[in-house]
Chains A and B, each alone.
Chain A
């Protein structure tokens, strides 16, 4: 198996001081499921993905509910919430990071993907952020070897 730098890594990150809106724009720009939130010396302090976007854009109680087919949208309320969350710090919505070392084996990377909720992981070298590894790109690289 080739090492991770040989697979496409995307340097998609925002600084920990970024806002929710800046993180959301970075996520859309890179077309990745997850981006890194980096602090001092490029250390990964969190990951921010689609699920975090949803948690910010919609009320927190939704995660506690399972039956909402009856609910109707109120565009005014949704827009108001989106406005309010935009300026919030991304740190409030990011989740604990899952990282893999740039020298990690494919077996280890696959195990990390299977045991976390992220579809892209942060790759680090000497604990500094190198880039995001998309699960689809990783699987494609494994397939190409056959």
Chain B
């Protein structure tokens, strides 16, 4: 049974990695199979689903979906282009900064879906090639999303699983290293793309003439939406003091916004990406089966054997292993499988285990930049690019994503060695 369960999981990962069928179908078929073959019973399968992760994701999707209707994110992107004044250095750093910030406090997938379409329009106005800008945004979103509990799906899964780690713990332990990495990566991206982003002064003047707030002025719910969104973010910071989980904060925020700023509830709830939610359900059940069959324990023992039980060895193995695994598969299923491994590795030593959680978060989130399939945000951006007539090839993404990932991991390694391990 152990072997069958392992094979089902590996087959599902392969199907996801090679995009043979939609990842949600692969995860749900895998989950169905592990239940049918008896690798996990029905009750345990239901228990294996982390409802807090699903609640947090759903709440944020509703919140951001409703706020997006106000035009506030379009305003933000347009102002960035105007503030850059056509200078490539400013444009790259401002775009990376805004995308990184939005990713940290909304989540990176949402941030990408908000900024990439408008970037194509801005690139048309500025008459520059859009793909360098999109790549800057994607890479910045994965780094920015590393900074908080809600910024990137791997962090959401870690934060909701390991409840002792608060929103503030994530910020204190991950935001500084994410900021340094974002600055270093953006500098690299600027050096690579600076010649492609030269804007003619006439075009720079053209973009200054655009009325960035025009759409926002027409929306009746700008103030309410922003107030609820900001209130929710404050709620995340205070969730430990308030004794509520981040998922509850997100769902309360979403409910309040539905009440005060949604004329049509059905329409508002269409913003929930059900395929993503079901993808997580399938993964949780498959990983539950792996745990049930003792495979997770075996992987943990293997890591402990290889590293000889050394704190430094384990932390760095998790960091680089998570990055490699995420690059090859997708950081969401990889993190789902690694969470119980880290649980087993650090059992009985809290401080030691916390360092391992940060190593997992940094490895999975930064590893998300290595290949086109490594993170959901990359796949989403590639989809928009393709529909816009500017497809991003796998090779082109790796050519820039892999160096950025290696740079990020080098910084993370130094950070872990100096401050965590």
Q: Give residues in A with beta carbon < 8 Å to B.
A: 59-72, 74, 77
A59→B120 contact, CB < 8 A: yes
Q: A59-B389, A60-B387, A70-B212 are in contact. Are A65 and B74 (CB under 8 A)?
A: yes
Which among B71, B218, B387 is the interface contact of A61 at CB below 8 angstroms?
B387
- CA–CA, A62 to B86, complex, Å? 23
User: Could you tell me the dominant secondary structure of chain A's interface residues?
Assistant: loop
B399 contacts across to A, CB distance below 8 A: none
Instruction: List B residues at the A interface (Cβ < 8 Å).
Output: 68-69, 71, 74, 78, 113, 116-118, 120-121, 124-125, 206, 209-212, 214-216, 218, 384, 387-389
Q: Within 8 Å CB of A72, what residues of B? A: 125, 206, 209-210
From B74, B117, B118, B210, name the one whose CB has the most chain A CB atoms within 10 angstroms: B117
Tell me which residues across on chain A come within 8 A of B216, comparing CB atoms.
67
Question: Which residues on B sit within 8 Å (CB–CB) of A74?
Answer: 124-125
A64 touches which one: B71, B209, B214, B387 (CB < 8 A)? B387
Least CB distance from B252 to A in Å reads: 26
Q: Which residues of A contact B121 (CB under 8 A)?
A: 59, 61-62, 65, 68, 71
Taking CB as reference atom, which chain B residue is nearest A84?
Answer: B389
The smallest beta-carbon distance between B202 and chain A, in angstroms, is 12
Contacts of B120 in A (CB 8 A): 59, 61
Can you name the residue of chain A whose Cβ is closest to the Cβ of B389?
A60
Give 8 nearest A-B pairs by CB, closest first. Answer: A64-B117, A67-B215, A61-B120, A67-B71, A67-B74, A61-B388, A60-B388, A60-B387
Which of A62, A71, A77 has its CB near the most chain B CB atoms (within 10 A)? A71
B384 A59 Cβ-Cβ under 8 A: no
In addition to A63-B387, A66-B68, A66-B69, 13 A-B residue pairs with Cβ atoms within 8 Å of each other are A59-B120, A61-B384, A64-B113, A64-B116, A64-B117, A66-B71, A67-B71, A69-B214, A69-B218, A71-B121, A71-B210, A72-B209, A74-B125
CB distance from A27 to the nearest CB of B (A): 22
